[in-house]
Amino acid sequence: MFSHSFLLNAALAGLFAGISCGIAGVFLVTTHLSFLGVCIAHAGFAGAILGIWLKIDPVISASVFSIAAAFAIGPLADKGELSPDTAAGIIFSLTIGLAFLFLGLMPGSRGEALSLFWGGILTANSKDLLLLSFVTLGTLVIVALFYKEIVAVLCHRSIAVAVGIPAVFVLYLLFVWSAIIIAVSLRIVGGLLIYSLVVNPAAAAFQLTYRIKYLFILSALFGVLSTWVGLFVSYFLDLPAGASIVIVSTVIFAVALFISPKRKTISDLDPVREILPPHNGDSKELK
Amino acid sequence: MKNVVASPDCSQNMQPVVLEFRNVSFSYGIAPVLENVSFTIRKGDMTCIVGPNGGGKTTILKLALGLIQPQQGEINLLGSSPPTNVTRVGYSPQYIHYDPRFPMTVIDIVLTGRLGNALKIGYSKADKETAKYALEQVGLLEKMQVPFGSLSGGQRQRVLLARALACEPELLLLDEPTSNVDAASEVHFQEILERMKQHVTLVLVTHDLAFVSGLTTSVLCVNRRVLSHSTGELSEQVLREMYGNDIKLVKHDPMHRR
């Protein structure tokens, strides 16, 4: 099937998007902020549509919108002024509303904007590939250089600060980078589907490992597996590529959950926490 | 019911000041948490911070580390205001704030204590040796490759203590190190702390008042204000003032009393 150059391009795009979205997913899933991924993705989607309408490069407008969403929700969730669910719900509906508003206001042909809904991995061109490869390389370099700092911030922010790491800066850097990853991958997987390529591989990997290093590796692998198997399935069964990718990533998650060693052990281990994570640690728990 | 309170700031103790609060006030929003708090901790002290829930114990540690800034007053940590010297401090937060499902092994957790000292990419061999040595001190070296979430409460507390020790700190701040710990582990914990006392200045937040009487050189009773800063033992009068109701002080281990 790789005799066609568009399929080779699609496979490469899937490789890059799979790796970088998989790693962005680790940032969001381990900080319990996967809803942030939903909002970033849909904000990027709205931004891209605005870009097409205003004849700006959609990647740029999508990045701006995604980053803005990250900065809007991050502090809201952080300071606990609103429950994260509420913040996410409001931003989510706003971004979807904006996306449809821009679509409605757009004069002339809407073909390009509509194709953003489900993405166009099969039409990935050399510009897409260049951008994606750059972002993927950037992701790998960031994680490799600052691995231990990133892990510390993801694990426990106060102790990261207490050893002198600018944790809030690192956290927002990760959010902004995730927003860029999502904005760049948007055209490949589709605005309404990209979120699952971010969260599902990381969530699946989270079920399977007790080691943060393997969490990164597995998540990137699952990301690539999702895009490649999805592409394969869509090619042979003549299904939409974006939808196939998302469904494959969900199947991977379901399998991971089914065989997860954690599902049994951890919930048995700490039943109190499972139900009610205490906010005020001053209270002494009875065991 | 005698009130044995030695002079709060022993004039004969001329050890250098490690941590000093001067008229510090802090509030979250409109609710005051700490009002006009002052105290001094000197090198070699072992200070217990006690008080009711929500009384501001943990807030004192966070202020000392520079995680939050006071609205009023001054804090001096090892000679300058925090967080300047924060990498010379070992800090162990309440373990309950750790997500047991976060995929970290024991040695991964302890290694994060080396972050302030390791500016290179990755951890060096020396970092790993220091982390292992810290684990050995708390008696958990054989668990180094085990997932943190699979340990018992007491073991997790000891791992977090090792993490704080891996900083090779001059000052150790421990938040509720014996909550969720069974009696046997607590004795173990006391032994570890007693050994550490020789090398490092210790501040620990606890509501375990029995713990206080045994090991400490000074006690800070906090309920929004510092009610007493004594180098003797806790009196029932102070406790009543602090907790606001009748409370009996039961001596657990008179053997340990000085």
Domain extent at residue B91:
17-253
Domain extent at residue A245:
19-260
CA distance B202 to B217: 10
Q: Residue B11: inside a domain, yes or no?
A: no
Q: What is the DSSP string of A148-211?
A: HHHHHHHH-HHHHHHTT--HHHHHHHHHHHHHHHHHHHHHHH-TTTHHHHHHHHHHHHHHH-S-
- Position A215 pLDDT exceeds 60: yes
Q: Which residues of A touch B97 (CB under 8 A)?
A: 156, 158, 281
Alpha-helical runs (H) found in chain A: 5-30, 34-54, 58-79, 84-105, 111-118, 126-145, 147-155, 157-162, 167-189, 194-208, 212-237, 241-259, 262-269, 271-275
Q: Residue A157: inside a domain, yes or no?
A: yes
Range A110-123 average pLDDT: 79
Q: Residue A278: inside a domain, yes or no?
A: no
Contact B104 A155 (CB under 8 A): yes
> Searching chain A, which residue's CA lies closest to the CA of residue B147?
A210
Task: For chain A, say whether B93 makes contact (Cβ under 8 Å).
Answer: yes
Q: Which of A28, A142, A157, A210 to mutate to test the interface with B (most CBs of B within 10 A)?
A: A210
Q: How many folded domains does chain A comprise?
A: 1
CATH of the domain at B242: 3.40.50.300
Q: Which residues of B touch A284 (CB under 8 A)?
A: 176, 179-180, 207
Residues B48-102: tens digit of each pLDDT: 888 777 778 888 888 888 888 888 888 888 888 777 777 788 888 876 666 777 7
Q: Residue A268: inside a domain, yes or no?
A: no
Query: When comparing pLDDT for A134 and A211, which is higher?
Result: A134
Range A116-140 average pLDDT: 87
Chain B (36-75) residues lying within 8 Å, Cβ to Cβ, of chain A? 53-54, 57-58, 62, 65-67
- Give the pLDDT band (50/70/90) at residue A16: very high
Q: Residue B7: inside a domain, yes or no?
A: no
- Position B236 pLDDT exceeds 50: yes
Contact A163 B163 (CB under 8 A): no
CA distance B95 to chain A (A): 9
Contact B108 A280 (CB under 8 A): no
Nearest CA to B222 out of B43, B33, B67, B93 is that of B33
Q: Residue A40: inside a domain, yes or no?
A: yes
Length of chain A: 287
Range ranked top by mean pLDDT from A33-37, A218-222, B180-184, B225-229: A218-222
- What is the structure's pLDDT at A210? 84
Q: Residue B10: inside a domain, yes or no?
A: no
CATH of the domain at A209: 1.10.3470.10
Query: When comparing pLDDT for A61 and A161, which is higher?
Result: A61
- Position B169 pLDDT exceeds 50: yes
- What is the structure's pLDDT at B143? 82
For residue A94 the two structure tokens come to: 């706003």
Q: Residue B167: inside a domain, yes or no?
A: yes
Q: How many folded domains does chain B comprise?
A: 1
- Position A75 pLDDT exceeds 80: no
Q: Residue A77: inside a domain, yes or no?
A: yes
Nearest CA to B15 out of B218, B173, B176, B190 is that of B218
Question: Using omega within 30 degrees of 0 as the cis cutoff, is the peptide bond preceding A201 cis?
Answer: no
- Position B175 pLDDT exceeds 90: no
ipTM comes to: 0.70
Residues B17-38: tens digit of each pLDDT: 888 888 888 888 777 888 888 8
Contact A162 B123 (CB under 8 A): no
Task: For chain B, say whether A279 makes contact (Cβ under 8 Å).
Answer: no
| Pick from A169-183, A216-230, B14-28, B169-183: least confident | B169-183
Residues B34-62: tens digit of each pLDDT: 888 888 888 888 888 887 777 788 888 88
Contact B115 A283 (CB under 8 A): no
Chain B (114-153) residues lying within 8 Å, Cβ to Cβ, of chain A? 115-116, 118, 121-123, 147, 149-150, 153
Range A144-160 average pLDDT: 84
